[in-house]
């Protein structure tokens, strides 16, 4: 039986409302980034103001160390992603395939760490970093981000590997592979969607994180993007144009990466829901 | 030479579960040996130990002249076909078949030749560039066979390869496997829970139960001379009828009344007196009056199959089946005098082992 028209219209209206609520802040920030000067508020309802200008964007690249912050963020995020993917790939495999003393306890410990909010871990991790003499270093920041992202990534990869039949590895071993070669040639290619999620999660953790970076990094030359952008907001006078422009530019790589890898995201999230 | 020798093979898990107990078996070069039994009998565990996928707790495995207990699966010169095919999903059919050869550093030209030949034998040339997900169940099974064939191994191992196929395809693939063996003449160890597969494919059958070998014999000998009650009940469809009773004075006295002379049931006519079980296959019960009289029974159910008539009856409180001629006129409630063919009596001891007495 066909759905009544008014129900369809109502359904679409509610969905549009929620889309508008989600998209409005981003549109507003985009609009602010195109306004000349530091106009946060405006009576003009147009998304693109009549006197739009790219001045804020130009100033970001020419008068602000935006590119340095970008480079710092890329460096940290890339290394955290690479480390996270490698460790989660092999750690998840170990938990999935091997039975060793302490396996259950370790898995429970991993699960337990997810119950704590990141801010609770901030002080103990900072003390650890300080004792290692890694405050104000990229390595210190990487350790922070990797150790907070890794438990989820390992758990996620473990679940993913559980969906890959062991018989595939057994077939590979009979075909002449060692266990390591079977992992590399057979299991890892099949775990690509899971690795993509791990990479995205690790990247997001490092790319847009502010609080930890604010504690660890003191040298302005080593600021990541969130730290640098926050500097545009002062107690007496905030540079809203620069703030908005930088926010838009910081979001673009993440959006691009999500769009490029969206098919893996869907596969990774739903695969494993039904056991083969 | 690709003889396989299993000596006192044992598999005991850390939990204490004893999956395989003291299994000794010699599989001759080029022989098609079937391991059959109910679920959990240890047949797959035995196969996996031969493959090197399970550690051996005790005993030895020899393939050819080589002891292979500590040899990696890839170095045992074996190929295995799995129940779920285990095709690599991210590789094409060609790549699946070539993978093992590639791992061994086989030259590309040789790989292409072998893959081409195997594809030709299995009629899967048109599938070589497809992925496993684009294939039907039967096609996947052929590819799994092809992946094994290209290796030209000493021993083929099959782990219930037809279980996931529908009935019609199963019959078709059974014939393919039989033809393949006749062509390649390689030693085969084939695991199945299906007695029809065991009887039709095996040159010899190993029947296992709870980790213990019950009988090793040709299909016909297992069928006509089961070594114990378990073998008698497992092989044959419908299953063998068992009648409890007692041996006394050269006759078997049924618990429900009546007796059958045992003069022709043994070569020396000697039987220990005491409780025993008489086994009679459904097809060995007749109504022609020419065999040994069993009992006059009241029919519960009559099934006219066309090529035969199956009658169900109760005797001494238990249900039994007789397979009679298709033209028999019988209906539920009818009384029918049943006789047994003289050379079709199977006598088993009335103990936990139920070993054959005649």
CATH number, domain containing residue B246: 2.40.50.140
Chain B CB contacts of A177 below 8 Å: 74, 103
Would B187 be classed as within a structural domain? yes
Least confident of A164-173, A246-255, B53-62, B332-341: A246-255
Residues B37 and B152 in one domain: yes
Check whether residue B68 and residue B109 sit in a common domain: yes
Q: d(Cα A69, Cα A104) in Å, to the nearest integer?
A: 42
DSSP H stretches of helix in chain B: 43-51, 93-103, 108-122, 137-149, 167-184, 195-201, 219-224, 229-234
User: CA–CA separation, B189 vs B187, rounded Å?
Assistant: 7
If we measure between CA atoms, which residue out of B86, B81, B89, B82 comes closest to residue B131?
B89
User: What is the tens place of the pLDDT at every residue in A134-165?
Assistant: 999 999 999 989 988 899 899 999 999 999 99
Based on the fold, state whether residues B224 and B251 are members of the same structural domain: no
B225 and B251 fall within a common domain: no
Q: Considering B183, B214, B230, which residue would you say is the last residue of a domain?
A: B230
Torsion of CA A187, A191, A192, A193, to 10 degrees: 160
Q: Are B226 and B242 found together in one domain?
A: no
Dump pLDDT digits (tens) for B273-322: 899 999 999 999 999 878 898 889 999 999 999 999 999 999 988 999 99
Residue B173: φ, ψ to 5°: -70, -30
By a Cβ cutoff of 8 Å, what residues of chain A touch chain B?
Answer: 165, 167-168, 170-178, 181, 185-186, 189-190, 276
Based on the fold, state whether residues B225 and B286 are members of the same structural domain.
no
Q: State which of B210, B230, B250 marks the end of a domain.
A: B230
Domain limit, last residue, from B230, B263, B292: B230
Least reliable range by pLDDT among A15-19, A76-80, A145-149, B210-214: A145-149
Measured CA to CA, the distance from residue A144 to residue A127 in angstroms comes to 11
Lowest mean pLDDT among A34-48, B96-110, B185-199: A34-48
In a domain, B41, yes or no: yes
pLDDT range class, residue B266, cuts 50, 70, 90: low
B49 and B105 assigned to the same domain: yes
Confidence band of A262 (pLDDT split at 50, 70, 90): confident
Domain that includes residue B55, residue range = 4-230
Q: Based on the structure, what is the number of domains in chain B?
A: 2
B29, part of any domain:
yes
User: If we measure between CA atoms, which residue out of A143, A155, A81, A69 comes closest to residue A111?
Assistant: A155
**Alpha helices per DSSP H over chain A:** 5-34, 55-62, 66-97, 103-113, 118-131, 138-162, 166-174, 179-182, 188-190, 192-207, 211-216, 225-230, 240-260, 262-270
B272 within some domain: yes
What phi and psi values does residue B67 have, to the nearest 5 degrees?
-80, 125
When pLDDT is averaged across residues B7-32 and rounded to a whole number, the result is: 95
Residue B294 · residue B280 · CB < 8 Å: yes
Task: Specify the DSSP element, H or E, that contains B7.
Answer: strand B4-12
Q: How deeply is B11 buried, as exposed, middle or buried, from its count of CB atoms within 10 A (0-12, 13-18, 19+)?
A: buried
- This model's pTM is above 0.80: yes
ipTM: 0.86
Same domain, B26 and B165: yes
Statement to judge: residues B221 and B247 lie in one domain:
no
Instruction: Specify the pLDDT at position A276.
Output: 44
Same structural domain, B337 and B218: no
The angle formed by the CA atoms of residues A98, A103 and A109, to the nearest 5 degrees, is 140
Q: Which residues of A213-225 are buried (b: 16+ CB within 10 A; e: fewer)?
A: bebbbeeeebbbb
Tell me the percentage of chain A whose pLDDT exceeds 70: 95
What does the pLDDT average to over A104-111? 90
Overall residue count recorded for chain A in this entry: 276
Do B46 and B195 belong together in one domain? yes
Q: CA of B200: how far to CAs of B38, B84, B220, in Å?
A: 18, 22, 10
Which of B49, B90, B96, B161 best probes binding to A when mutated, by most A CB atoms within 10 angstroms?
Answer: B90
Instruction: List residues bridging with B11 in a β-sheet.
Output: B20
In this prediction, residue A273 carries a pLDDT of 39
Please give the residue of chain A at the shortest CA–CA distance from B76: A174
CATH number of the domain encompassing residue B104: 3.40.50.300
Q: What residue spans define the domains of chain A?
A: 5-53, 64-270
- Window from A163-172, A219-228, B53-62 with minimum mean pLDDT: A219-228
Token pair 């899971």 in the structure block, residue: A194
Residue B82 in any domain: the answer is yes
Answer yes or no: is B356 within a domain: no
Q: Does domain A64-270 have CATH number 2.30.110.10?
A: no
Q: With beta carbons under 8 A apart, name residues in chain B contacting A175.
A: 74, 99-100, 103, 147, 151
Exposed e or buried b for every residue in A228-256, given b needs 16+ CB within 10 A?
bbebbeeeeeebbbbbbbbbbbbeebeee
B328 shares a domain with B205:
no
Q: Which residues of B touch A165 (CB under 8 A)?
A: 84, 86
- Between CA A114 and CA B219 the distance in angstroms is 60
């Amino acid at each position: 039986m066909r759905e009544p028209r008014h129900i369809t219209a109502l359904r679409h209206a509610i969905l549009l409302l929620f889309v508008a609520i989600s998209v409005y802040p981003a549109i507003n920030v985009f609009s602010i980034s195109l306004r000349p000067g530091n106009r946060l508020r405006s009576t003009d309802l147009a998304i693109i103001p009549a006197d739009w200008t790219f001045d804020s964007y130009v100033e970001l690249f020419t008068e602000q160390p935006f590119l340095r912050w970008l480079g710092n963020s890329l460096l940290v995020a890339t290394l955290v992603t690479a480390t996270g993917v490698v460790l989660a790939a092999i750690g998840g495999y170990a938990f999935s395939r091997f039975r060793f003393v302490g396996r259950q306890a370790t898995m429970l410990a991993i699960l337990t760490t997810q119950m704590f909010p990141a801010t609770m871990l901030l002080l103990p991790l900072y003390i650890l970093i300080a004792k290692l003499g890694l405050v104000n270093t990229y390595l210190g920041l990487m350790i922070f981000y990797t150790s907070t992202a890794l438990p989820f990534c390992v758990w996620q990869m473990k679940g993913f590997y559980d969906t890959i039949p062991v018989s595939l590895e057994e077939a590979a071993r009979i075909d002449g592979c060692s266990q390591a070669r079977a992992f590399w040639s057979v299991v890892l290619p099949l775990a690509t969607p899971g690795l993509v999620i791990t990479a995205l999660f690790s990247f997001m953790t490092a790319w847009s994180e502010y609080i930890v970076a604010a504690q660890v990094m003191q040298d302005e030359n080593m600021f990541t993007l969130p730290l640098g952008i926050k500097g545009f907001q002062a107690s007496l006078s905030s540079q809203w144009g620069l703030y908005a422009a930088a926010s838009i530019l910081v979001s673009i790589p993440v959006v691009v990466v999500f769009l490029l890898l969206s098919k893996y995201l869907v596969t990774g999230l739903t695969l494993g829901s039904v056991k083969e | 030479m690709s003889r396989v020798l299993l000596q006192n093979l044992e598999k005991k898990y850390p939990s204490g579960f004893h999956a395989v107990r003291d299994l000794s078996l010699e599989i001759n070069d080029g022989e098609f040996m079937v391991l059959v039994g109910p679920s959990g009998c240890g047949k797959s565990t035995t196969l996996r130990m031969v493959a090197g996928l399970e550690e051996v707790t005790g005993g030895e495995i020899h393939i050819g002249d080589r002891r292979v207990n500590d040899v990696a699966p890839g170095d045992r010169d074996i190929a295995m076909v799995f129940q779920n095919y285990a095709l690599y999903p991210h590789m094409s059919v060609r790549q699946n078949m070539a993978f093992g050869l590639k791992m061994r550093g086989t030259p590309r030209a040789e790989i292409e030749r072998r893959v081409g030949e195997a594809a030709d034998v299995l009629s899967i040339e048109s599938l070589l560039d497809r992925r496993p997900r684009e294939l039907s169940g039967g096609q996947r099974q052929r590819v799994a066979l092809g992946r094994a064939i290209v290796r030209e191994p000493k021993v083929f191992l099959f782990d219930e390869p037809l279980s996931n196929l529908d009935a019609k395809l199963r019959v078709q693939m059974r014939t393919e496997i039989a033809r393949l063996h006749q062509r390649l003449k390689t030693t085969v160890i084939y695991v199945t829970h299906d007695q029809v597969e065991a009887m039709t494919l095996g040159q010899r059958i190993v029947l296992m139960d709870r980790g213990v070998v019950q009988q090793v014999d040709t299909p016909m000998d297992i069928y006509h001379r089961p070594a114990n009650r378990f073998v008698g009940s497992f092989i044959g469809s419908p299953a063998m009828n068992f009648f409890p009773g007692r041996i006394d004075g050269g006759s078997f006295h049924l618990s429900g009344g009546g007796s059958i002379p045992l003069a022709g049931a043994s070569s020396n006519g000697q039987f220990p007196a005491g409780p025993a079980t008489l086994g009679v296959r459904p097809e060995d019960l007749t109504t022609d009056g020419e065999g040994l009289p069993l009992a006059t029974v009241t029919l519960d159910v009559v099934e006219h199959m066309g090529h035969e008539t199956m009658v169900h009856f109760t005797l001494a409180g238990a249900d039994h089946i007789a397979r009679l001629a298709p033209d028999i006129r019988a209906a539920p409630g009818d009384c029918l005098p049943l006789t047994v063919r003289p050379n079709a009596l199977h006598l088993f001891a009335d103990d936990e082992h139920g070993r054959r007495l005649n």
